[in-house]
Structure 1
Amino acid sequence: MITKFIENYAKLIVSEPNDIKVYKEMIDDTFAEITIVANSVDIGKLIGKNGNMINALKTMANGCKAKDGISYKIQVVSK
């Protein structure tokens, strides 16, 4: 659920939406790492000014913790 939302959200922000890939890796039962792979020209758009865009994604992911009990770490990497 969270990965699909983040993927759709990221595709709306970037200039190369076909390059967006989102992966979720479970570290343990209560912690998961979500990786957003994007074109290098779009990294700044995903992070946003002063980190506002990525912080919004992190806030939304923390809201999902109340539903499924899993904490999320989100990172953005260049393709």
Structure 2
Amino acid sequence: MVETFIEEYAKKIALDADKIRVVREEMEEHFSQITIFASSQDAGRLIGKDGRMIGALKTLVSGCKAKDGFSYKIIVKAID
């Protein structure tokens, strides 16, 4: 659920939406890492000025913890 939302959100922000890929990895019992793979230009757009865009996304996703009990770590990686 969360990774689907993040993927759709990232595709709306990105200039090259076809290159966006989101992978969720279970790190521990109630902890998951979500990695967003994007082109280098789109990675900058996803992070935003002073990290505000990714910070807002992390805040929104942290609200999901109340619903499903998982904690999430979000990483943006540039691919070329």
**How many residue pairs end up in the alignment?**
79
Tell me the TM-score normalised to structure 1 length.
0.97
Match for residue 57 of structure 1? 57
Q: Which amino acid aligns with 2:44?
A: G
Tell me the TM-score normalised to structure 2 length.
0.96
Match for residue 77 of structure 1? 77
Match for residue 44 of structure 1? 44
Note the aligned Cα RMSD (angstroms): 0.6
1:44 counterpart SS class: helix
Per-residue deviation, residues 41-71 of structure 1 (Å, max 9, x unmatched):
1111000011111011101110000001110
- Any unmatched runs of 5+ in structure 2? none
Identity of aligned residues (%): 53
